[in-house]
Amino acid sequence: MRRYRTLKLGYEAEAAAAEELNRLMRHGYWVFHDVPGDKAFNIDHVVVGPNGVFALETKGRAKPGRDVKDGHVVRSDGQRLEFPTWTDTKPIEQAARNAKWIATWLTSATGEPVRATPVIFVPGWFVERTSGNGVAVLNEKQCGSYFLKVAGNRLTDQQINRIAHQLDHRCREPIKQS
């Protein structure tokens, strides 16, 4: 039952992230879900728009019981996630690794330098940023405003189209495993 609940929570978090991110398409953004990486990993979501490329890692986490103070709050300094009863650095490391991989792959695929910004998405939690540095951590209410306002790495329409073309192709074509 525990495994089932964990999988269900992960699926629901992914669906919540996808629904929120898809709203960005109304503002001219491209949104890709489950972007295949090399071998046995994927990037949960990649967002491409005028202010850059963003690699998102979604984390569904159960909240502790009601008796825990601030049981709905996750704090982040950009280096770690501080949940009410535990601290985790692995999602930050994974998001940074995924952003580095997608930037390297897109640079090779487009023939021009591409930078990607890592982002963590934790739906259902109140996110409190304790520092403006490091990896951004968002909930569903912060999602739209973050991407529309973040300075990011400016891209031209032509760059956006080249990047989106490569991502679209990667998401539609089977990846050959080596």
Confidence grade of residue 39 (pLDDT, cut at 50, 70, 90):
confident
Domain count, the chain: 1
Average pLDDT over residues 46-53: 95
Full DSSP string of the chain: -HHHHHHHHHHHHHHHHHHHHHGGGGGT-EEEEEEE-SSS-EEEEEEEETTEEEEEEE-------TTSTTTTEEEE-SS-EE-SS-EE-HHHHHHHHHHHHHHHHHHHHHSS---EEEEEE-TTSEEEES-SSSSEEE-TTTHHHHHHH-------HHHHHHHHHHHHHHHHSPPPP-
Which residue range forms the structural domain that includes residue 131? Answer: 2-172
Lowest mean pLDDT among 27-36, 119-128, 160-169: 119-128
Q: Is residue 120 part of a domain?
A: yes
Is a pLDDT exceeding 60 seen at residue 62?
A: yes
* 103-125 pLDDT tens trace: 999 999 999 999 999 999 998 88
Q: Is residue 17 part of a domain?
A: yes
